[in-house]
Chains A and B, each alone.
Chain A
């Protein structure tokens, strides 16, 4: 059956089974491949998107459960304040290696920052430990989140 969903501010109608995970609707039906597949079981975080600002794993989110929730993906997270800060910090700190996990990392980190402007190390662990990076960029992810959480003036100086 057809479902109407709102992604990055645009409405889409998709005709798939209701139990189809949002991940495949994004990637294969709508061609938005910034959101990645890593495990399909909510174990790696590669598929993280926001639903009404909260980080969710799209690989286990049935399309029928999305309803009127507003979905934000990596393609548009730069339009949010937190997302933009995180993306900038990611480039400043040079976090990325192969980059495959980074869409999910950035989605998790920007949801964290939006809800908690000054996360502690423990807050970072809690918010980010669901995201695996096989290239091992964790040291820099932590550093980048801390940098993004600094007041703008300090940010400028460091950048």
Chain B
């Protein structure tokens, strides 16, 4: 997927290309800048090839270590796993390392953070795994050298312990804080020795997250919690018809609502600004609005699907071509074809979209939780006409990201509103607005076909992906020759098939219906298609689904390893109660291998209840095993919500869902037990934020098939097909 290209996982070159700079921090500390070229792709970054660090480590004279990164914390544990990497190599306690959001607000750093700042694609640990360790090791080397010089001893005779350099022979000790001023005058070492992973004392051990204490007592401040003196609260209604405009609005009744201050009109929306959200909502309800629906006033999901089905008839841009699928298909003993579909999806991050903005004549300040800081800044500059350096963005904790906060539509709108008033305004979307004006996961309409030989093994496999292109909109330089590399990520599956053809047809919905990233992105979509279809092949071959997959994994031993582990732990093949079915799926994505076995039952009303999920994960070397488990558990729930309920539909150009009643989320009484088994691996770390989400839907539909004989090729699961009473 795209973020993989921007942040190559396990790239051996990363260590060589990591650039360090060193300097004296204001206040006498040691400041180490880390330039990680892997994080700055030429296609997206400025042409500036000069040294531009994208992370800093500062060690203060009091010994405190601060890591300044562009990654944001949205629940994935980044603010714990990244300091772990520094602490491990630097030789300090984890408690000594603090994290700050970049770009920093203070004036400590002359070197601005340039590049493309983004948190997404399960990249945090992968992108920073080597560079942060190198930075920690480099700082340690300089501190040891400084102490050794002062003592006039060989640096090799010194060691470090909990933030102190020790010369064991003489018992002399110097704390890091006492050394930083001198160390800052050194040239950073070009070649540092990293710890042998077998000597790790912190990395790989379950560590308590450092950001949780304030999240259980109400103190944690998310974007929506920002308080600025003089601030008012606004809520918005954008045209409910996609791409439509505001025709007129009568605000006389709204203005009479106690606490309402102003009504602001935009091209396609109205905002009510008030003293508090209660008044703003009441004011919004009191508006009499006439919308101009425009060209999409009759558009519906059926139109969207018909357009995709039509587009699917044409060949697309070729993404992968191995052997000769046409010839192999012609010679196959059995041919199987299927259409698989996945719906538009909203994200419903728990924290609804919001953004606080203060526009003044000489500058603009923004308070928001975003995955893309620099884009938030750029859109504010564009809307206000201010130069970029007059726009200051304060990032906050994210109440969930899931890809939604990789888009800045909400920031743009908030700045448009704030531009019209003299005070800071916090724009908060209602849940209905959040669902009806999301940037949706694309609708996917895929054609799969396979040819099997006389023994049932696949000799040909083709997969045509038909959907809108997120990449063409979000990162156009990566959309080349009609191919969206994210949309086809994982489209061939992890199996060894001699003849493979994957192609992609781009079909965009009308302007106004924007599609975007959703947890697990291309991998999540392709996992459902491929893993459902491979199960169909196993059925056609009259073979056990695990054995069938296994036979195709001779050359993919890590994939086979997790499949075996999941099957073993789940008791695959052992008898189940008659009303329970078992299904399996296997996914490779984000550098991580996952197999899941789901056990499901189906009620008389057709409702699917997932009772147990067994996950086997090989994500390479583990940084924080507890975070890996948490991400797997959460990923399963997120993916299950989508598999069972997730569907955005359009009618008369309007999104039909609004709140958690019509766009439900899985609840605790529906949550399965989830077992996570992690493979002890020495490979480069893989991403964990998304693959768990990708794997669950196919495991569930395969289990439904095992139980009922009904093959579900479309999400969400249609309970009417499974009714028995």
Contact = CB atoms under 8 A, between A and B. Distances in A.
A75 B666 CA distance: 27
B107 interface: no
A28 B277 contact: yes
Nearest to B398: A98
Given A28-B233, A41-B431, A101-B350, A136 B216 contact: no
Contact of B667 (A29, A73, A132): A132
B428 A87 contact: no
Given A24-B278, A87-B217, A132-B665, A98 B350 contact: yes
Interface in A3-42: 16-17, 19-21, 23-25, 27-29, 31-41
B635 A136 contact: yes
Contacts of B626: 94
A43 B216 contact: no
B262 to A, nearest CB: 16
A74 B217 contact: yes
A55 to B, nearest CB: 14
A65 to B, nearest CB: 14
A17 B350 contact: no
A81 to B, nearest CB: 16
Contacts of B636: 136
B350 A43 contact: no
A39 B669 contact: no
B409 interface: no
A37 B668 contact: no
B638 A106 contact: no
A129 B278 contact: no
Identify whether the interface residues of A are mostly helix, strand, loop, or mixed: loop
A98 B399 contact: yes
B352 to A, nearest CB: 7
Interface in A112-152: 124-125, 128-142
A65 B722 CA distance: 45
B277 A100 contact: no
B402 A134 contact: yes
B538 to A, nearest CB: 29
B152 interface: no
Interface residues of B, number: 65
B660 A74 contact: no
A98 B397 contact: yes
A34 to B, nearest CB: 2
- Interface of chain B: mostly helix, strand, loop or mixed: loop
Nearest to B401: A98
Given A135-B634, A138-B637, A97 B75 contact: yes
Contacts of B276: 16, 20, 24-25, 27-29
Contacts, number: 195
Nearest to B231: A28
B348 to A, nearest CB: 6
B224 A96 contact: no
B638 A134 contact: yes
Contacts of A38: 350-352, 431
A69 interface: no
Interface stretch (B1-9, B45-53, B207-215): B207-215
Interface in B651-671: 659-661, 665-669, 671
Interface string A49-93: 000000000000000000000000111001000000001001100
B558 interface: no
A46 interface: yes
B225 A33 contact: yes
Taking each of A28, A103, A129, which has the highest tally of chain B beta carbons within 10 Å of its own beta carbon?
Answer: A28
A137 B350 CA distance: 12
B349 interface: yes
Interface in B473-513: none
A46 B430 contact: no
B216 A87 contact: yes
Contacts of B674: 139
A48 to B, nearest CB: 12
A124 B668 contact: yes
Given A16-B259, A37-B277, A75-B218, A135 B668 contact: no
B469 interface: no
A4 B385 CA distance: 46
Contacts of A102: 215-216
B162 interface: no
B221 A99 contact: no
Nearest to B225: A33
Contacts of A34: 217-219
B19 interface: no
Nearest to B634: A136
Contacts of A24: 276-279
B630 to A, nearest CB: 6
B281 interface: yes
A129 B665 CA distance: 11
A111 interface: no
Contacts of B665: 44, 132, 134
A39 B431 contact: yes
Given A25-B276, A99-B220, A129-B668, A40 B430 contact: yes
B399 A100 contact: yes
B217 A25 contact: no
A109 B145 CA distance: 54
Given A133-B637, A134-B665, 12 more contacts: A16-B259, A20-B278, A29-B275, A37-B428, A41-B431, A43-B659, A90-B216, A91-B213, A96-B212, A130-B667, A137-B630, A138-B637
10 contacts: A20-B282, A24-B277, A27-B277, A33-B221, A36-B350, A36-B351, A36-B399, A41-B660, A74-B218, A91-B213
Interface of B: 74-77, 208-209, 211-213, 215-222, 224-225, 227, 233, 257-259, 275-279, 281-282, 348-352, 397-402, 428, 430-431, 626, 630, 633-638, 641, 659-661, 665-669, 671, 673-674
A-B CB proximity, top 4 nearest: A34-B218, A136-B637, A100-B399, A98-B75
